[in-house]
Amino acid sequence: MANKAVMYMGPGKVEVADLDYPGLELKEGPGVNPANVGRKTPHGVILRTVATNICGSDQHMVRGRTTAPERLVLGHEITGEIVEKGPDVEFLEVGDIVSVPFNIACGRCRNCKEGKTGICLNVNPDRPGSAYGYVDMGGWTGGQAEYVMVPYADWNCLKFPDRDQALAKIRDLTMLSDIFPTGYHGCVTAGVGTGSTVYIAGAGPVGLAAAASAQLLGAAVVIVGDLNADRLAQARSFGCETVDVSQGDPKDQIDQILGTPEVDCGVDAVGFEARGHGSDASREAPATVLNSLMDITRAGGALGIPGLYVTGDPGAVDDAAKEGSLSIRLGLGWAKSHAFTTGQCPVMRYHRQLMMAILHDRVQIAKAVNATVIPLEEAPRGYQEFDQGAAKKYVLDPNGLIPAA
């Protein structure tokens, strides 16, 4: 059976190319860990992809800021219809529509049993944690394709209760695979609750998802900071206050909004490609956001850090940053008794609850992130526009299954 997929073809280049139809076994391919080749997955399912999204994490690879190999199949945000299931799958059926967490987890190891599904011990031979279509994550084929295999399906897949309802709300439900739980995790770990004041660094899709999450959690004021005017306008469209960090230190603008230069909770939705503030906004300064958040988060507060930081960045501004070493003012964070939470979001900790919030109209996450549906063939355009700062979350429709808006 034919299968087309979005592939990374070198810095700045993606193409839609032919790919083998997936089977229930890992085969050799770009980025596949040799120790995973031949691994059988009778516990897996084959999905016909309903929706798969372009993520800022994908964009890091496409910019050439990781060690991703050419022809790596991209995509870790997957929602699909089961068309085939392995003999060990008990609780899912052909025809079910499911959301797939971006982190691959076995459900059997110590970390999975403790709910730490972002750092499963059994799916990546190199280190804890894995994801579809991502560099150094074990080599599981990405989901920006017409068909994709999902292992440990009974554990990993979140089944939607009603097919028609799922398709009607697919623009929202597709965000459950990554950015909605990731933004929510950033807020939960930052301590957002009723009446909180929150500063979110970054108005990309994860930052906007975090802002919507903060509202869902009962924040009194949600402030979003960025350099991009269109993205800041998108944040204001659903009730956020905004800070243009190109105008200087966010502290002064926060003071104007709140009457105090500090917030209760800080969220880093930018990551390792951060830029400076004010006159330094044109240059990359990877520690800027973390240091700024420590400065503007009150003593005793917390920082949620869903923004991506990597151990290998060939395009970094200095040798230290190339291996993920940043000049962070840890002494400031220590002096203010800050708590820090980093790493992949354990999607399964949140996705069922967030699904219920979507299905019962408690949140409109697609509207918050400006979900924009395009065909799989237009993925290269989506990547290009997203890289240029479009205030959109691009949703790919590989099989023409997403209903018209």
pLDDT per residue over 253-282, tens digit each?
999 999 999 999 999 999 888 888 888 878
Q: What share of the chain is helix, strand, coil (3-state, %, to 5)?
A: 30, 20, 45
In the CATH scheme, what architecture does the domain 179-341 have? 3-Layer(aba) Sandwich (3.40)
Architecture of domain 4-178+346-397 in this structure:
Alpha-Beta Complex (3.90)
Alpha-carbon gap, residue 88 to 195, rounded angstroms: 47
Can 4-178+346-397 and 179-341 be said to share one CATH topology?
A: no
pLDDT at 405 over 80: no
Residue ranges per domain, the chain?
Answer: 4-178+346-397, 179-341
Q: To the nearest whole number, what is the mean pLDDT of the chain? A: 95
**H or E element, residue 216:** helix 205-216
The Cα 77–Cα 371 span in angstroms is 13
Alpha-carbon distance of 309 to 174, in angstroms, equals 24
**What pLDDT does residue 1 have?**
83
Report the pLDDT averaged over residues 115-125: 97
Residues 140-168 pLDDT 10s? 999 999 999 999 999 999 999 999 999 99
Residue 282 and residue 215: Cα distance in Å, rounded?
31
Q: Burial code of 297-313, b = ≥16 C-beta within 10 A, e = fewer?
A: bbeebbbbbbbbbbeeb
Q: What is the DSSP letter of 42?
A: T
Q: Which of 292, 304, 303, 301 is nearest to 329 (CA)?
A: 292
> Which two tokens mark 177?
């695979």
What pLDDT digit, counting tens, does each position of 30-64 carry? 999 999 999 999 999 999 999 999 999 999 899 98
Q: What is the pTM of this model?
A: 0.96
- Return the structure tokens found at 17: 């190319």
Q: What is the model's pLDDT at position 276?
A: 84
Q: Tens digits of per-residue pLDDT, 203-240?
A: 999 999 999 999 999 999 999 999 999 999 999 999 99
H-assigned helices in 297-378: 319-322, 330-335, 351-359, 365-369
Confidence of residue 21 (pLDDT cuts 50, 70, 90): very high
What is residue 286's predicted lDDT score, i.e. its pLDDT? Answer: 82
The Cα–Cα gap between 10 and 69 comes to 8
Task: Give pLDDT, residue 372.
Answer: 98
- Over range 278-303, report the average pLDDT: 91
C-alpha distances (whole Å) from 225 to each of 154, 257, 283, 287, 304 are 39, 12, 17, 16, 15
d(CA 225, CA 241): 9
pLDDT value, residue 272: 85
Q: Tell me the two tokens of residue 165.
A: 């309802």
pLDDT on residue 326: 87
State residue 281's pLDDT score.
78
| Structure confidence at residue 404 as a pLDDT band (50, 70, 90) | confident
Tens of pLDDT, residues 309-365: 888 888 888 888 888 888 899 999 999 999 999 999 999 999 999 999 999 999 999
Q: How far apart are CA 169 and CA 270, in angstroms?
A: 28
179 Cβ partners below 8 Å, 6+ apart? 53, 55, 77, 205, 206, 209, 369, 393
In the numeric block, the tokens 């909605």 are attached to 180
Q: What is the pLDDT of residue 381?
A: 97
Residue with tokens 């003593």: 299
